[in-house]
Structure formats: structure tokens, C-alpha cells
């Protein structure tokens, strides 16, 4: 079976509609509907697809314990009651995740963006230069802006998703700097699930593109995961163009672009419409805020990174839908504060909401968007919300802040349509298959309890034969169980809360696209899960129908 064709057929684009904006405490009510779209920069013509067969080889990857999914705020936010920056809240807003292979330069590029946009001063950079030198990591000083943990600085590897904010004339951006190392893929999944747009960072340095792309690197895995997690637009930045092995070579850039295009297509991206390539140097900041100098790169006539980011259309969002905010983090601060991205609806100070699945009734004391306290915020915004009526210890990551009317369902079982892309060597997919399910901010062990129907990938109709097991490439409807209640949705209602990724331990990456077709809230059977160490296999999934 042509797995790539199946992925294309199952393109999982977000179907949100309307645009959400955060409204500063002093803004007029009518400003809530305001949108501020910018014309899209035309994507350059791409080389035609060669139809490559892309395999993710993780044979060398050891089984790892699934690390704790966590984000870190790069510049800790002060509570600001009535700030001068209120104007900024009227701009359009985009969440951008930086993805790509380890050491591609994601944190360096993110740090450089903050420096170029005036978020970081020269003194801080000098301090980081000294600190990096002391750690014998001279060239990592720019990455230190995003990599704030000691562990990250010592190892030169991002662990937790870094979160920061910057803005251009037209747009406020939330940057999510994902880790590239294979051990931290769950954290990358958490970052990507909060994003609208991906910046795929690829190192052009000799050998580095190859390890990221050709030898089972995370370039491929991140692209496939990003697509299924709802990152519909990609900027592919070919980084380290300043490196002496590259020296802004057009040949090297073209080589990378021509290898990436067929793979991006096979992963479900419409390369002409949804992907833009550009060369940069994150380290020296070239082709980032302003276009690269002709004396440095005479052949580049396209946009710089800031222009490209500004050109991306904000996805349509529904500010009037039922409120949904998956909780990615929580802490105590004059009450209980929860953090997350609003996937649907709007939130106001004083609102009465529910925390699901524990059905706790809460009141919204305050809403913070970036550094600012806001009166109201809409979908797409990354928020901190102060709540009363619940203790911090009664909330877990993966819980969802939801409207009382049309509250999000909580389930322990659902049926889903999965596409199996690649299983562990010699593995068959059958009842009893165990994996880890990642859906919005939920990470839960799950078990496939029954295969219900196999789908003919050509006709997309159910096959008559009873199905007991399937192999790579199959599309199958199955029943999935989890141990504890989780909050999920039909894919057709809320794509971001209705598509998921399954991962299992092992050597070979496997990816499933799943459409959940039924959810059952009242499931009482207790399933015992074997504790496993989890690492490398991936499945990506989405939800279509819901029965409660
Ligand atoms: P992980 O978080 O571990 O996945 O890595 P990363 O993608 O965030 O890479 P990071 O920014 O930490 O950079 C890794 C190394 O690449 C550092 O030594 C950087 O200085 C170097 N680097 C990043 N961008 C550039 C660049 O544009 N040019 C050159 N020459 N080196 C770069
Ligand atoms: Mg990093």
C-alpha cells in the first residue's frame, strides 16, 4: 500500500473559523471582533516531487522513559495591571513552534529573534557570551536566551519547550522552542500541539542536514508529527548558511530544498500553498529581521524571516464557540493559575467555568495574555488564567478548562480510525497493543482493545472480512481504552482536541493517523497496563464522531 498517498488523503487541516483576539482591560467591546490580516507572500515555485519512499529509521534509538512534558517561560511574566503595551493586544496573534533535528539551531534562531526584536539587550548577550565560554560552549550564547535551565545550558540541548513573545508591526507572536533530541519528542509534541505555524529549522552545515534527514533524524519525525498535530503552515529555514562548509552556497540550499520538498509533500503538506523555504543564519542574524545583504548572498531574492512570519495568515477561529483551554501547566499565585492555549471560545474575567474531567466549578479571577492582564481573550491565545474554587493540586496537565454549557466530554474509551504507517519490527497491530496516547496536553497509556473494521484504503469503504490483526499501512477502526478519564472531542468538532498521536517503545518509528469515531463515557471495565519504558514509535491520530 502507498502509505504516503494515505497520509495525503488524511490531511488533517484545522477547521477552526473566526478569529480570536485578546482584549486589553481598557479596550472597547467592539474591538473583540477586529481582525488584521496581511496579504500572503507568494511562495516561490518548487521543484516537482520525485515520489520518494521516506522511512524513519530509529534503529539506533534506545528505549527511553517518557519524559515529563513541560514548558518554560523564557521571560517570566510579571503581573501587569494596566500596562503601556495594551496597544499590542489589538494586533493579530500567531503561535509559532520551532521544530527540527537536534542542534539545527532552533534555540539560537529563537534567541536571535528576541534579540533583533529588542527583547534582549546587549548586556544580557555579553553575560551569556561569558557564561557560554565558561561552559566551553562559546557558540551557544544566543541559544541561552531560550535555553534557560542549567541542564539545558550545560548540555547545549533544549529539554523543555521554551516560550517567549515578540511582535512585529502587524503581529504578536508566541514562540515555542521545541527540543530536537529524540528523548524529548513528547515535549516537542506538547509544543507543536499549541502552535498554528511551524518553523522547521534545518542545518545546512556539511553532514548535519544529512543526519537530521537521511539517517533517521528528527527532521522527518517532527514534520510528520507537526502535520498531524495541526501545524498547517511551515516555514522551512535552511540555517547555518554562514558556516564555512556552506558559505551561503546556492547549490547547498537547492540540494536541501529539493530533498525536502518530496518528503514534505508525502507528509501531507501542500508545498506550493503551505510551505515557504528561506536561507538564514540564526547565529549572526542574517536574513532574519532584514533581507540578507547581496554581498553575502547575491542569489536570494525572497523574503527574510520576519517578512515571512508576517505574511502567514492567522487561522480562522471561532470566538463564539464553547470554551476549551487544555491545561499545560499550573501553579499557585494568589489562587490557582493555569496555563494553556484557547482552542475555542472566549474567556472573560468573572466567567464561571468547569475544570474537566473532575467537574470542578471555578470562577475566573483574572486573565493574562503575554505580559498583560486582559479583560477578555479569544481562541488562539496562550493564556494564564487565575481561578478560584479549585486547589492547584486538584488540577493535572491534560485537564481542560471548559464552558459549563457544552462542557468537553470525559471518556475512558473511544473508537478511532487509525492508519498504521510503520510498526516495530515484526510487530502486528492487534487487540492488546499498548501505546502512549498524546492528545492536546494529555499523555496517557492506552490499549487497543478491539479491532472493529478494516478500511479499504482505495475505496475508503469498510471491508467485509473480520479483522484480527493488521500490518503496516493498514487503515483500521478500533476501540481504544485509557486508564483514567481524558477529555477529547470529535475531530470534526475540534480538530485540535480530536487528533492524537500514539507512541510505543521500540526501534522503528510508526505513525498512525486515527479518526476517532465514537467515544463512550460510561466504560467501567478496568484494564491493567503494563508499565513500560516508552520511546520511539509514533502514531498520529484524529477524531471524527462522538457518542456519549
Ligand atoms: P536542540 O534544542 O538540542 O534541539 O538544539 P537547537 O536546534 O536548539 O540548536 P542550538 O540553537 O542549541 O544550536 C546548536 C549549535 O548550532 C550551537 O553551537 C549554535 O551556535 C550552532 N548554530 C546555530 N545556528 C547557527 C548558525 O546560523 N550558524 C552557525 N555557524 N552555527 C549555528
Ligand atoms: Mg534548542
Q: Which three cell numbers stand for residue 526?
A: 478496568
The answer to whether 116 touches 291, Cβ cutoff 8 Å, is: no
103 lines ligand 1 (CB under 6 A): yes
143 lines ligand 1 (CB under 6 A): yes
The answer to whether 128 touches 115, Cβ cutoff 8 Å, is: no
104 lines ligand 1 (CB under 6 A): yes
Give distance in angstroms: CA of 193 to centre of ligand 2.
18
Burial of 450: CB neighbours in 10 Å, binned 0-12, 13-18, 19+: middle
Q: How far is CA 472 from CA 4, 224, 480, in A?
A: 12, 16, 18
243 lines ligand 1 (CB under 6 A): yes
- CA separation for the pair 289, 306 (Å, rounded): 5
Closest CA to 515 of 414, 418, 409, 411: 418
Closest CA to 229 of 544, 519, 498, 472: 498
Tally of CB atoms within 10 A around 123: 8
User: Considering only CA atoms, which residue is closest to atom 10 of ligand 1?
Assistant: 105
Burial of 154: CB neighbours in 10 Å, binned 0-12, 13-18, 19+: exposed
Predicted local confidence at residue 340, as pLDDT: 92
Predicted local confidence at residue 548, as pLDDT: 36
- CA separation for the pair 39, 533 (Å, rounded): 47
- CA separation for the pair 339, 336 (Å, rounded): 10
158 lines ligand 1 (CB under 6 A): yes
Q: How far is CA 414 from CA 329, 344, 391, 490, 519, in A?
A: 26, 22, 30, 10, 4
Give distance in angstroms: CA of 110 to centre of ligand 2.
9
Predicted local confidence at residue 477, as pLDDT: 86
Specify the ligand 1 atom closest to the Cα of 284: 27
In order along its 548 residues, the chain shows pLDDT tens digits of: 343 443 333 333 322 333 334 444 444 333 333 333 333 333 333 333 333 333 333 333 333 334 444 566 665 434 444 443 444 457 889 999 999 999 999 999 999 999 999 999 999 999 999 999 998 898 899 999 999 989 999 999 999 999 999 999 999 999 999 999 988 888 888 888 889 899 999 999 999 999 988 756 789 889 988 887 889 899 999 999 999 999 999 999 999 999 999 999 988 899 999 999 999 999 999 999 999 999 999 999 999 999 999 999 988 888 999 999 999 999 998 889 999 999 999 999 999 999 999 999 999 999 998 778 999 999 999 899 999 999 999 999 999 999 999 999 899 998 887 877 667 666 788 999 888 888 888 889 999 999 999 988 788 888 988 899 888 778 888 889 999 999 998 777 787 888 877 777 633 344 555 555 555 433 222 222 222 222 223 333 444 444 33
Tens of pLDDT, residues 284-342: 999 999 999 999 999 999 999 999 999 999 888 889 999 999 999 999 988 899 999 99
What is the distance between the terminal CA atoms of the chain, rounded to a whole angstrom? 34
The answer to whether 382 touches 340, Cβ cutoff 8 Å, is: yes
Nearest ligand to the CA of 109 is 1
The answer to whether 338 touches 401, Cβ cutoff 8 Å, is: yes
CB half-sphere exposure, 404, CA atoms < 13 A = 8
Specify the ligand 1 atom closest to the Cα of 218: 4
Give distance in angstroms: CA of 189 to centre of ligand 2.
15
**Residue listed under C-alpha cell 484557547:** 342
- DSSP at 545: -
Predicted local confidence at residue 474, as pLDDT: 82
The answer to whether 186 touches 443, Cβ cutoff 8 Å, is: yes
Give distance in angstroms: CA of 156 to centre of ligand 1.
9
- CA separation for the pair 310, 307 (Å, rounded): 5
Q: Which helix (H) or strand (E) holds 412?
A: strand 410-420
- CA separation for the pair 542, 448 (Å, rounded): 15
Q: Which three cell numbers stand for residue 238?
A: 535552511
Give distance in angstroms: CA of 72 to centre of ligand 2.
12
The answer to whether 192 touches 480, Cβ cutoff 8 Å, is: no
* Coil, strand or helix at 231: coil
Q: Which helix (H) or strand (E) holds 201?
A: strand 197-203
The answer to whether 380 touches 315, Cβ cutoff 8 Å, is: yes
**Residue listed under C-alpha cell 492508519:** 419
Total H helices, total E strands in the chain: 10, 26
Tally of residues, the chain:
548
Give distance in angstroms: CA of 108 to centre of ligand 1.
5
Q: Which residues surround ligand 2, an ion (CB under 5 A)?
A: 106-107, 158
- CA separation for the pair 510, 135 (Å, rounded): 38
* Coil, strand or helix at 129: helix
Amino acid at each position: 500500500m502507498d502509505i504516503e498517498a494515505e497520509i495525503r488523503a488524511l490531511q488533517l487541516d484545522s477547521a477552526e473559523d473566526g478569529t480570536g483576539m485578546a482584549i486589553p482591560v481598557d479596550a472597547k467591546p467592539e474591538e473583540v471582533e477586529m481582525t488584521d490580516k496581511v496579504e500572503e507572500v507568494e511562495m516561490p515555485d518548487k521543484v516537482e516531487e520525485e515520489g520518494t519512499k521516506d522511512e524513519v529509521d530509529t534503529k539506533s534509538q534506545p528505549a527511553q522513559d517518557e519524559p515529563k512534558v513541560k514548558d518554560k517561560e523564557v521571560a517570566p511574566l510579571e503581573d501587569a495591571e494596566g500596562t503601556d503595551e495594551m496597544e499590542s493586544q489589538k494586533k493579530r496573534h500567531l503561535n509559532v513552534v520551532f521544530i527540527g533535528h537536534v542542534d539545527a539551531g532552533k534555540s539560537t534562531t529563537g534567541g536571535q529573534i528576541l534579540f533583533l526584536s529588542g527583547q534582549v539587550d546587549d548586556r544580557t548577550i555579553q553575560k551569556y557570551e561569558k557564561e557560554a565560554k565558561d561552559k566551553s560552549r562559546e557558540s551557544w550564547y544566543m541559544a541561552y536566551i531560550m535555553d534557560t535551565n542549567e541542564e539545558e545550558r550545560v548540555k547545549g540541548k533544549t529539554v523543555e519547550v521554551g516560550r517567549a513573545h515578540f511582535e512585529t508591526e502587524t503581529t504578536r507572536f508566541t514562540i515555542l522552542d521545541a527540543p530536537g533530541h529524540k528523548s524529548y519528542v513528547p515535549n516537542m509534541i506538547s509544543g507543536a500541539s499549541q502552535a498554528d505555524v511551524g518553523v522547521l529549522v534545518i542545518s545546512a552545515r556539511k553532514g548535519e542536514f544529512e543526519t537530521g534527514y537521511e539517517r533517521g533524524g528528527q527532521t522527518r519525525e517532527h514534520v510528520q508529527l507537526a502535520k498531524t498535530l495541526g501545524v498547517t503552515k511551515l516555514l522551512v529555514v535552511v540555517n547555518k548558511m554562514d558556516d564555512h562548509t556552506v558559505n551561503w552556497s546556492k547549490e547547498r540550499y537547492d540540494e536541501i530544498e529539493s530533498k525536502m520538498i518530496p518528503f514534505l509533500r508525502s507528509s501531507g503538506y501542500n508545498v506550493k500553498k503551505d510551505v515557504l523555504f528561506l536561507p538564514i543564519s540564526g547565529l549572526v542574524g542574517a536574513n532574519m529581521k532584514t533581507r540578507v545583504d547581496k554581498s553575502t548572498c547575491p542569489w536570494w531574492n525572497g523574503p527574510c524571516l520576519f517578512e515571512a512570519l508576517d505574511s502567514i495568515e492567522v487561522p480562522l477561529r471561532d470566538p463564539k464557540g464553547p470554551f476549551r483551554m487544555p491545561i499545560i501547566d499550573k501553579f499557585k499565585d494568589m489562587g490557582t493559575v493555569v496555563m494553556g492555549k484557547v482552542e475555542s471560545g472566549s474567556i472573560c474575567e468573572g466567567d464561571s467555568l468547569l475544570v474537566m474531567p473532575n467537574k470542578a466549578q471555578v470562577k475566573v479571577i483574572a486573565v493574562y495574555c503575554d505580559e498583560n492582564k486582559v479583560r477578555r481573550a479569544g481562541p488562539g491565545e496562550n493564556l494564564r488564567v487565575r481561578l478560584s474554587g479549585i486547589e492547584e493540586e486538584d488540577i493535572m496537565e491534560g485537564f481542560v478548562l471548559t464552558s459549563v454549557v457544552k462542557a468537553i466530554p470525559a471518556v475512558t474509551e473511544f473508537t478511532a480510525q487509525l492508519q498504521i504507517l510503520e510498526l516495530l519490527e515484526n510487530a502486528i497491530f492487534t487487540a492488546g497493543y499498548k501505546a502512549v496516547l498524546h492528545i492536546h496536553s494529555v499523555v496517557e497509556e492506552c490499549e487497543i482493545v478491539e479491532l472493529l473494521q478494516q478500511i479499504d484504503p482505495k475505496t475508503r469503504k469498510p471491508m467485509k472480512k473480520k479483522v484480527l490483526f493488521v500490518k503496516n499501512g493498514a487503515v483500521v477502526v478500533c476501540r481504544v481504552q485509557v486508564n483514567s478519564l481524558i477529555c477529547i472531542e470529535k475531530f470534526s468538532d475540534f480538530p485540535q482536541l480530536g487528533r492524537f498521536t500514539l507512541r510505543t517503545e521500540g526501534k522503528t518509528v510508526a505513525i498512525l493517523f486515527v479518526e476517532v469515531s465514537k467515544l463512550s463515557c460510561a466504560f467501567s471495565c478496568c484494564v491493567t497496563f503494563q508499565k513500560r519504558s516508552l520511546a520511539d514509535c509514533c502514531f498520529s491520530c484524529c477524531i471524527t464522531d462522538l457518542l456519549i
